[in-house]
A and B are shown apart, each in its own frame.
Chain A
Amino acid sequence: MAVDAHDAAASAPGMPQLDFSTFPNQIFWLVVTLVAIYLLLSRVALPRVGAVLAERQGTITNDIAAAEDLKRQATEAEEAYNKALADARAQAQAIAAEAREEIMAELADATAKADAEISAKASESAARIDEIRAGALEAVEAVAKDTAAEIVSALAPAAADADSIAAAVSTRVKG
């Protein structure tokens, strides 16, 4: 019943699938289609997609490697920074200690110098005081001699012997 279907192509008596008269046509066009799709895929599409996927895989791998590298560099940089920081701190402490020592030394020097100056000034002053004191004693003696001579000459002008008076005064002042 299906074999004569092409006589009445407008409607389908039975299954058009079993209309064998259309088989060569379908098979021919199917083969053409399959060959076309196969060529399209094997020549153009599949190599292209494969290349893109491989390239992407490569890019991802590279990026991951680069990221690891960068991470390693960052870690190294951090370590270097920490090391530099520690060094700087140690150096700073050393400098500070050195400066303190220097300052201490300078201070000690200055103190010693000042002490020396002070003692020099003190001894000088003491010498001057002694000098002044000696000067004063001499002055006292001279004044005493003059005064004694005046008094002696006033009381007993005959006995006014300057040398004996001075000797007497000197002995009395010293005694």
Chain B
Amino acid sequence: MSDDAHSEDAVETHGADAAHGADAAHGADAGHAADAAHGADAGLAADAAHGAEGGLQIHPMDQFIVQPLFGDGPISWYTPTNVTLWMLLAIVGVAILMVIGTRGRAIIPSRAQSVAELTYGFIRKMVEDVAGKDALPFFPYIMTLFLFIVMANFLGLIPMSFTTTSHIAVTAVLAMLVFVTVTAVGFIKNGVGFLGLFWVSSAPMALRPILAIIELISYFVRPVSHSIRLAGNVMAGHAVIKVFAGFAGVLGLGAVAPIIAITAVYGLEVLVAFIQAYVFTILTCVYLRDALHPSH
């Protein structure tokens, strides 16, 4: 390869892993950097190449860096950062949609009010259908989760923005909130009977202990899959767009293929932004149903 010199530099600074990544970033394969680890390596390698002056300068992961809004100091827990800004914008978005949009309280709704009512009906019906009528007290909570995720996802699709839901710290907190709530509700409503969720009474007696272990493991894996699914999808899509954008930057005016690819991936990301919010919400409802009706 012509990039051998850079790759060697990369090997010196970051090890064999980075060299592999450098190949990916420089070769045509970089489009496959969709999965998170690969994408991260590409960023690492690009950084290495950057350090070795010249070559491709693609930093697909730079968009996820948490930075202070003012100054350059260390980030403590209360520092206003780009996280703060984009979460604030999410609140503003929710307020515009759900509060200002419904300001008229019209019997014949305006457009904004229609959207707010559709969202309301969509989530309410989901809670009712999936989790049952007795889950309706949790409707505001689930609505909060859905609106925050969907708003953060779509705000993240604005170029140059920061996607709060691409961070595992954020999605993990969201998932843990659901996990803790669901577990607590399960025990409060059903007492010890909640453990019946793990005891598959319809299976043969000999299989039940094994199934119980499997059920237990799957129960505790829930928050992990719940959070990584969201963060992984959002992050991977944004990283891919950034990689294509890097290609377009290098190719200049002739970058037809990368621009088409960016457009296509962006369209996909619009879908993903909604679908992941939907998936997160409906899984919350499913978990809630398990807590309210633990019998199999």
Contacts and interface: CB of A to CB of B under 8 A. Distances in A.
Given A29-B84, A49-B102, A14 B40 contact: yes
Nearest to A55: B107
Interface stretch (B113-121, B189-197, B254-262, B264-272): B113-121
Contacts of A6: 74-75
Contacts of B109: 52
Contact of B59 (A12, A42, A55): A12
Interface residues of B, number: 61
Given A24-B77, A52-B109, A53-B117, A40 B61 contact: no
Given A25-B75, A25-B76, A45 B102 contact: yes
Nearest to A36: B91
Nearest to B116: A49
B99 A40 contact: yes
A45 B99 contact: yes
A13 interface: yes
A21 interface: yes
A55 B47 CA distance: 59
Contacts of A11: 47, 50, 59, 62, 65
A32 interface: yes
A20 B217 CA distance: 26
B288 interface: no
Given A12-B59, A46-B139, A46-B140, A25 B67 contact: no
A14 B144 CA distance: 32
B83 A29 contact: yes
Interface in B135-181: 139-141, 143-145, 147-148, 164, 166-170, 173-174, 177
A16 B72 contact: no
Given A32-B87, A40-B94, A45-B116, A14 B44 contact: yes
A15 B61 contact: yes
Contacts of A51: 105
Contact of A23 (B44, B61, B94, B169): B169
Contact of A15 (B36, B76, B147): B36
Interface in A1-50: 1, 5-6, 9, 11-19, 21-34, 36-38, 40-42, 44-46, 48-50
A150 B109 CA distance: 137
A56 interface: yes
Given A31-B173, A36-B91, A21 B75 contact: yes
Given A41-B143, A49-B102, A18 B117 contact: no
A133 to B, nearest CB: 108
B44 to A, nearest CB: 6
A111 interface: no
Given A13-B44, A53-B120, A26 B170 contact: yes
B64 interface: yes
B144 A52 contact: no
Contacts of B67: 9
Nearest 8 pairs of A and B residues by beta carbon: A45-B98, A24-B77, A22-B66, A42-B140, A33-B87, A16-B64, A12-B61, A26-B169
Interface of B: 14, 36, 40, 43-44, 47, 50, 59, 61-62, 64-67, 72, 74-79, 81, 83-84, 87-88, 90-91, 94-95, 98-99, 102, 105-107, 109, 113, 116-117, 120-121, 139-141, 143-145, 147-148, 164, 166-170, 173-174, 177, 231, 235
18 contacts: A6-B75, A9-B67, A11-B65, A12-B43, A13-B44, A17-B64, A21-B74, A21-B75, A24-B76, A25-B75, A26-B170, A28-B78, A29-B81, A30-B170, A33-B91, A37-B91, A41-B94, A49-B98
